[in-house]
Amino acid sequence: MEMVKTEWDKVKVRLRDEVGDAAYRSWLRPITFHGVNGGDIKLALPTRFMRDWVATHYAERIRTLWGAENPGVRTVEIVVGATRATAAPAPIPAQSAPSPVATQPAPVKAVAAKPAVCAPAAVVNGSAEADELGAQLDPRFTFKNFVVGKPNEFAYAAANRVADADTVSFNPLFLYGGVGLGKTHLMHAIAHHIRERNPGRTVLYLSAEKFMYRFIRALRHQDTMSFKEQFRSVDVLMIDDVQFIAGKDATQEEFFHTFNALVDQGRQIVISADKSPSDLEGIEERLRSRMACGLVADIHATTYELRLGILQSKAEQMGVIVPQKVMEFLAHKITSNVRELEGGLNRVVAHSQLVGRAITLESTQEVLQDLLRSSDRRITIEEIQKKVAEHFTIKLSEMSSARRSRQVARPRQIAMYLAKQLTSRSLPEIGRKFGGRDHTTVMHAVKKVEELKDSDQNFAEDVELLRRMLQG
């Protein structure tokens, strides 16, 4: 028996060298020696989920390596059994995603290891529990309430196809476009339609930020197995604003394996971002490649006709009569995104109802003077990044890179400061545009630039020059 255990120790060393520390800690270190009967070796893992994964991906290699140490070894059998308390798996596997777990806890041998066929037990249902794990769906965001025009007709058709399909026709569906153009509306509409059409299907919608926070919590509580089973057992996974995980290597690793697991099982994935997969900075190449392998549908900036249609639809939903000239004026003036367009209409209607005045062109201009003024010359974060990069002769990509040298970090801080001063974007939104950085990083940058402006006259002049150049 002692000789066999010594052989197992040697096999573990070889495995660690082959697969690397991350995969070894996740899947192989928890294995314990369970027994031997002649040339038949028995190893144990604490859960069926881990047993099936190891049996599928490593059992044959274990048998081969053990056979090199002892030619008398014929089979290696993986069973579910108790393991040492210290054998808790580490959070981030380095291999591709696991197959679904098997239904019966029967042992699996290396000579006959097969992928399992059923989903894990921790499956959320199609309504309340799924919403608890993910995010609540907005009841207003349905296909019926989505106004279709030339800029969004392709994305709308693709979303409809996914919602209506019983089988996966393209995976993933990747929707991208600027802020407030309808990506989230379409994702909610897909989820609503699937749940209405087939209540038995498990639909999970959440932001990439929430995915990351749930992953971090699983790491903190050493409960990554439950996390994996929850996310890899759904029928439809929908991740909004995937650009948020840029620069978050551990979260990207886990999302990559979750992505692979669901695709391998024939489950549908829907993703949204502010850029196409190939243009997402701070995202690993393999993940960008995976996201681009399905159907990529872009949503363009709205046209005048589409904006007018959106305003008319919104007025009908609100049950109010808005003069045509007012709607035409708003459609001409508010061109940035649909959210601001609808927000402008909401303000005009609310003002009319609260003060008891009819909606006129004059009252609209008065109520929305701040919004209309900012719409006349709207500066984007991308413009700021480009102008600052040109001014300091650094690459535009450095604005999102992880480099911290002063030559790069200082211009990046100035760009963050100007984004805070010249745009209406929130601190988290600004951080996401700079490689997925945290809002506290933006706060620090703003504070640092203000301090340097007070203490360094040349620096203050540089910042003021950039501001004037951007404001034109």
Q: Which residues are annotated as a binding site?
A: 180, 182-184
Name the binding residues for ATP. Answer: 180, 182-184
Q: Which residue has the tokens 């040492």?
A: 84
Dihedral, 43, 49, 54, 55 alpha carbons, nearest 10: 80
Residues 373, 365: Cα–Cα separation, whole Å? 10
Which residue is it, tokens 């995980």?
A: 245
Q: Are 26 and 94 in contact (CB under 8 A)?
A: yes
